Amino acid sequence: MTRFFAWGTFLLGCLFFALPLIGMTEFSLKMRRGEYSFDAYRRVFEDQRFWDTFSYSLILAAATIVVGVLLVVPTAYWVRLKLPQARPVIEFITLLPLVIPAIVIVFGYIRLYNTSSFLPLTGSALGTDILLTMGYTTLALPYMYRSVDTGLRTIDVATLTEAAQSLGAGWITILSRIILPNVMVAVLSGAFLTLAIVLGEFTMAALLNRPAFGPFMQLLGANRAYEPPALAVIAFAITWGCMGLMQLVTRFSKHERAKA
Amino acid sequence: MPKQTGGQRLRLPLEWLGILPFVVFAVLFLILPTMKIVVGAFQTPDGGFTLQNLLDLNTPSIRSAYWTSIKLSFVTALLGCAIGFAMAAAVVFGGMPKGVRNPLVTFSGVASNFAGVPLAFAFIATLGPVGLVTVWLRTEFGINLRAMGFNLLSFWGLVITYLFFQIPLMILIIIPALDGLKREWREAAAVLGATGAQYWRMVALPILFPSLLGTFALLFANAFGAVATAFALTGPQLNIVPIKLFAQIRGDVLGNPNLGYALAFGMIVITALANFLYIWLRVRSERWLK
Amino acid sequence: MSFLTLTHLEKSFGANRVVKDFNLSVEKGEFISLLGPSGCGKTTVLRMVAGFETPTAGGITIDGRDVTSLKANSRNIGMMFQAYALFPNMTVADNVAFGLRVKGVPRAERDARVAEMLALIGLSEMGGRFPFQLSGGQQQRVALARALAPRPSVLLLDEPLSALDAKVRVSLRNQIRQIQQDLGITTIFVTHDQEEAMSISDRIVVMNGGVADQVGAPFEIYNRPRTKFVANFVGTLNTFEVRVTDPATGRVALAGQDLTLPDAPLSARTGETLTVALRPEALRLGRLADAEALLPAKVTDVHFMGSVIRLRADVAGTDVSLDTFNRPDTPPPTVGSMIEVSLSGRDFIQLRA
């Protein structure tokens, strides 16, 4: 009886998740009247703006990941090693982006860093790109911090540090040669999640007027019929790819550890 | 450690220096922007203190935007929690094969991040006027969703679309919590004569209550701040707060920049309230956990 | 008919037969231990009695009622678990009251019973605390009170002491036995600790590979183990090869000494060798008047354990272990010294494979 209900619930849920995926795939193939074709995809790939915005978002994602790692790894390490009393505060701050909507944060950016402010970041394209990168870092902060902090929990930070120090290593060496490799899996899973978030992000990029992938998709959606579902399929594939890589990294590391 | 007290006094501020980059980042890109909104909500255009911005929120249009947003967030959070919980419980306790669980978790990871613009496209292709399901129901069964009053670009259309990322988020968070329920608790309750329902009501749900509540608050905030999905689905005309704010930032549609601050401030207040409610209830319900 | 009977009980998980043709009759008020190594099926038997596992074959009756296909929540059983399993969201008093609450016992009666139970386990002051505020031993006492509060007909104990430290373990086990005897409640206790089983049981069932190898009182199990497995699992054994001289009267020879084994006639014939066993305390240091034989031995190891001194020695080419009591005026023998060991044929144990 329990099993019957369990299967029923599960299958109904699966149906709910499968239908939109089937729907968008089917629709994206219907561009040519009367037969299935990849015309919509060809159109998307022929569009120069697709490649421009996609590579722009990709570069921003890479920048976000670098900034995130440089920010989160030393901080999480330092808090574990020397400042456990700062932990609640840091954790609270890293969770704030889940509570404060992204649109509110970017609204603050626009008003705070306008051309007449102390830090006129929105005055130039590069400045805005930097601001957008910081915004994405903020959005990714909760996931990145938790991932790295959990990774640090599994290694004995204090002992590793003392051992490295007794061998004459400095802080930079300790962080880059000892700590980072040990939390690499956590960093990578945080990185792939960041990639997934940044590639599809719309609000911040749109409001800062940057040519990112998210606003491009929205623009196409407002003007075309068959390309949007093709884009949705592509976006879904990218998200799936990021998550798949995340799992792969975790599984690979477990395998490595099992061998050791 | 045999260190001198003088050195001790010097070390404390130095240690705090270690988190300086993080603090600077958080202040510049999280706290100051938020403060700017909060302060701006209480300022006149020339910088004086006023409550007029908040009072000006009290127009039928803005009131209805907040109300719709709150309803939308509440309903999707509630349904997301309920359905996500049912699916997670089915997989963890339903005696289903082990091979089901990992794919579900992986898929939930993907689906919870598959929000925004592409998600809207997927639902338009499925439940839109010429979407797969709409057409199929019409041609195979003669059911006309539109004639029955269903419209994807409406409140319930938005609810269904939001559930696509709300349910997986719930599944991701609640599966570990369900794993934390010990088999012995269920067995102890059973030998003491409790039925399955009594076990859930008196033991399992009270233990899960904090995680359920926390996830609910998270799902609420998640839906409340979502712009992209709604914007891509309906364009700028749907009257919910994030879309209104989006239009205001782009083109000052309210005709008063400081009213925009007040609008954003209202969003912070509501998500913060949801989270404080959660923390308060959690503290109350978790007396048994230090 | 016995109060609790298990007849031809079988349990398989897939192709794995965990319990095979298990039979047991327990009298009302009896304290029975299921003793065996992990994986011997003892816990599975207990879980079938509790109703958590359905037997593949066979039946269970409690007080004349067939409960084989009854759900766990209608068997009226009390149970203690290894990991306490107290409900963390309830106070001690609410935990104890749980069984009464789900049965719909009125408030006043419930409170009285909870107070009575808390007094029984000596935790009357702790009713308002949460489980995490208690020590392991206290938690397990609360678990006992919770199990007993609804007046169960049978009490099942699933290794309730193994998560506790040594001192608490001994005192709680004595407390459990005391309460069990006061209430006269039929009890099944699962453990892998032979000392624990022997110290509190009326009878012990030694299990091996899903089968009950031997059922008997602790004294009988220890001194007259029927199989090699039982003998080895319950205490330490020394084995000797002896040559049979007269099977009819049980006479054998060991290193030139004549001994008479119990349980004559012997299965072996004259001239054959027989493997027999002896508990360490049946080998006695020095020349004793009532002993049948006296053998020289060379001490190879000395373990001073307090009240008991355990020696290892070479007796007639066999490495043996022997126990002797500590005596304040006599220092233990030193390693390498020669000693004399007294032994009697009647203490020998003949083992089936």
Residue B289 distance to chain C (closest CA, Å): 7
**Which residue in B190, B203, B290 is closest to C73 by CB distance?**
B190
Q: Which chains are adjacent to chain B, needing at least 3 Cβ pairs under 8 Å?
A: A, C
Digit-coded pLDDT (tens) for C294-333? 888 899 999 888 888 888 998 878 888 888 888 888 888 8
Residue B75: which CATH number? Answer: 1.10.3720.10
Q: Does residue B6 fall inside a structural domain? A: no
Sheet holding C57-62, edge to edge: C16-26, C4-13, C57-62, C65-66
**Residue B1 domain flag:** no
Q: Are A145 and A98 in contact (CB under 8 A)?
A: no
Substitution target from B24, B114, B166 for chain A, most A beta carbons within 10 A: B114
Per-residue pLDDT reduced to its tens digit, C90-104: 999 999 999 999 999
Question: Is residue B123 domain-resident?
Answer: yes
ipTM at complex level: 0.87
- Count of C-beta atoms within a 10 Å radius of residue A14: 14
Nearest residue to A182 (alpha-carbon basis) of A148, A146, A140, A144:
A148
> What's the CA gap between B260 and B249, in Å, rounded?
7
Q: Is the pLDDT of residue B4 over 70?
A: no
Residues 117-176 of A with CB under 8 A from B: 119, 134-135, 137-138, 141
CA A69 from chain centre, in angstroms, equals 12
Using a CB-CB cut-off of 8 Å, the residues of chain B touching A101 are: 221, 224-225, 227, 242, 267-268, 271
Q: Does B205 touch chain A (CB under 8 A)?
A: no
CB atoms within 10 A of CB B146: 11
E strand spans, A192-251: none
pLDDT tens sequence across B37-93 = 999 999 888 888 888 888 888 889 899 999 999 999 999 999 999 999 999 999 888
pLDDT in tens, chain A (260 residues): 677 888 888 899 999 999 999 999 988 888 888 888 888 898 889 889 999 999 999 999 999 999 999 999 999 988 988 888 888 889 889 988 988 999 999 999 998 998 888 888 888 889 999 999 999 999 999 989 988 988 888 888 888 888 888 888 888 888 888 888 888 888 888 898 899 889 889 999 999 999 999 999 998 888 888 888 898 898 889 888 888 888 888 777 666 655 54
Alpha helices in B2-154 (DSSP H): 5-17, 20-26, 32-41, 52-56, 60-93, 101-113, 117-127, 132-141
- Topology of domain C238-350 in CATH is OB fold (Dihydrolipoamide Acetyltransferase, E2P) (2.40.50)
Task: Show the domain range for B283.
Answer: 37-289
The pair of structure tokens assigned to B164 is 């696509």
Distance (Å) from the alpha carbon of B190 to chain C's nearest alpha carbon? 5
Partner-chain contact B232 A221, CB within 8 Å? yes
The CATH number of residue A124's host domain is: 1.10.3720.10
Query: How many residues are there in chain A?
Result: 260
Specify if A22 maps to a domain. Answer: no
C-alpha A211: how far from its chain's center? 18
Domain presence at residue B219: yes
Omega before residue B60 within 30° of 0, cis: no
Is A156 domain-assigned? yes
Contact criterion met (CB < 8 Å) for B113 and A200: yes
Which chain A residues touch B123 with a CB distance below 8 Å?
A: 20, 23
Task: Measure the CA–CA gap between B167 and B79, rounded to whole angstroms.
Answer: 8
For residue A15, being part of any structural domain is answered with: no
In a domain, B73, yes or no: yes
The conformation of residue C280, written as its DSSP 8-state character, comes to: G
Structural domain includes residue B56: yes
Q: Which chains touch C (3 or more CB pairs under 8 A)?
A: B
Chain A residues in contact with B273 by the CB 8 A cut-off are none
Is any Cβ of chain B less than 8 angstroms from the Cβ of A36? no
C72 to B187: CB separation less than 8 angstroms, yes or no = yes
CB-CB neighbors (< 8 A) of C188 in chain B: none
Chain C (45-104) residues lying within 8 Å, Cβ to Cβ, of chain B: 50-52, 71-79, 81, 83-90, 98-99, 101-103
> pLDDT tens per residue, chain C (353 residues)?
789 999 999 999 888 899 999 999 999 999 999 999 988 999 999 999 999 999 999 999 999 899 998 999 999 999 999 988 999 999 999 999 999 999 999 999 999 999 999 999 999 999 999 999 999 999 999 999 999 999 999 999 999 998 888 889 999 999 999 999 999 999 999 999 998 999 999 999 999 988 998 999 999 999 888 888 888 888 888 888 888 888 888 888 888 788 888 877 777 778 888 888 888 888 888 888 888 888 888 999 998 888 888 889 988 788 888 888 888 888 888 898 898 888 888 888 887 65
pLDDT > 80? residue B236: no
Give the H/E segment covering residue C24: strand C16-26
Are the C-beta atoms of C188 and C62 separated by less than 8 Å? no
B-chain residues within 8 Å CB-CB of C77? 191
Q: CB distance from A222 to chain B under 8 Å?
A: yes
**Where exactly are the structural domains of chain C?**
4-233, 238-350
CATH number assigned to the domain covering C4-233: 3.40.50.300
Residue B31: pLDDT band by 50, 70, 90 thresholds? very high
**Residue span of the structural domain in which A112 resides:** 49-259
Q: Is A127 inside any structural domain?
A: yes
Q: Does residue A71 lie in a domain region?
A: yes
Q: Is B24 in the A-facing interface, judged by CB distances under 8 Å?
A: no
Higher pLDDT, A138 or B290: A138
User: Residues 75 to 104 of B: which have CB under 8 A from any A CB?
Assistant: 83, 86-87, 89-91, 93-96, 100
Which residue of chain C comes nearest to B198, CA vs CA?
C102
How many domains would you assign to chain A?
1
Number of domains in chain B: 1
Contact by Cβ (8 Å): C32, C217: no
* Separation between Cα atoms, residue C144 and residue C168, nearest integer Å: 15
User: Residue C27: which of C154, C160, C165, C211 has the closest Cα?
Assistant: C154
